[in-house]
């Protein structure tokens, strides 16, 4: 089956999708942010597309450090919860919106969006630290020029694992397991 796009990169919100799209666009090819254009796209909204694997030859998943990502999600969505409801609607439950605190919702958003992205990428998950630069270059046939993960210049709170456990111990444990699984895969099982 001939698929219209070469690559979809799935992630949770606030996990450098804008930076990734801009890096690829600077290479001179058409690549969307939160949409598929030309050679493909990157973003968490793409994980809500049930037909993403039918539209793209390759689907991969990138994961940002949980403490940084959850703090950023919490700061970004504190006044706009539409994204939380969109994810809950897609997965058919209230896994995100049932949480009463901004931290609880951000934790659930991070976990559920990464779980969904991992599943749709058939487990092709990579950390930002082990960003799949060579894989993206190979799949798109381009030279992508970046050497480090982006720096988030937004002011937001600093989180600790202890803070996550205080908020929701069971969810913090699941996030920790999810992160360790991606680290192990990214580091070649070390």
pLDDT mean for each 10 residues of the chain (190 residues): 89 87 84 94 94 93 91 80 87 91 93 95 78 67 59 64 91 93 72
Q: In what order do the strands lie in the sheet with 5-10?
A: 32-33, 40-42, 5-10, 56-63, 125-127
Cα–Cα distances (Å) from 142 to 3, 43, 96, 124, 183, in that order, read 19, 20, 38, 20, 26
Q: Rounded to two decimals, what is the model's pTM?
A: 0.85
Supply angle C-alpha 45, 47, 53, rounded to 5: 130
The per-residue pLDDT for 19 is 81
Residue whose tokens read 């982006």: 150
The per-residue pLDDT for 22 is 84
Enter the tokens of residue 169: 């111990």
The per-residue pLDDT for 138 is 66
Enter the tokens of residue 98: 């049932």
Nearest to 81 by CA among 48, 109, 43, 110: 109
Give the E-state strand segments of the chain in sequence order. Answer: 5-10, 32-33, 40-42, 56-63, 125-127
The per-residue pLDDT for 147 is 44
Tell me phi and psi for residue 148, to 5 degrees: -145, 160
Distance of CA 185 to the CA centre of its chain: 16
The per-residue pLDDT for 83 is 85
Residue whose tokens read 């480090």: 148
């Amino acid at each position: 089956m001939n698929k219209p796009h070469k690559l979809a990169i799935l992630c949770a919100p606030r996990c450098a999708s804008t930076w990734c799209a801009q890096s690829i666009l600077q290479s001179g090819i058409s690549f969307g942010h939160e949409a598929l254009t030309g050679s493909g796209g990157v973003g968490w909204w793409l994980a809500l597309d049930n037909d993403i694997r039918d539209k793209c030859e390759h689907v991969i998943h990138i994961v940002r450090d949980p403490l940084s990502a959850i703090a950023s999600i919490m700061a970004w969505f504190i006044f706009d919860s539409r994204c939380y409801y969109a994810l809950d609607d897609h997965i058919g439950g209230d896994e995100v919106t049932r949480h009463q605190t901004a931290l609880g919702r951000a934790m659930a958003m991070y976990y559920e969006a990464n779980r969904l992205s991992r599943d749709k990428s058939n487990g092709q998950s990579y950390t930002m630290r082990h960003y799949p630069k060579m894989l993206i270059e190979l799949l798109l046939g381009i030279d992508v020029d970046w050497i480090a993960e982006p720096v988030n210049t937004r002011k937001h709170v600093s989180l600790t694992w202890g803070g996550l456990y205080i908020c929701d111990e069971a969810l913090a444990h699941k996030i920790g397991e999810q992160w360790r699984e991606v680290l192990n895969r990214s580091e070649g099982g070390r």
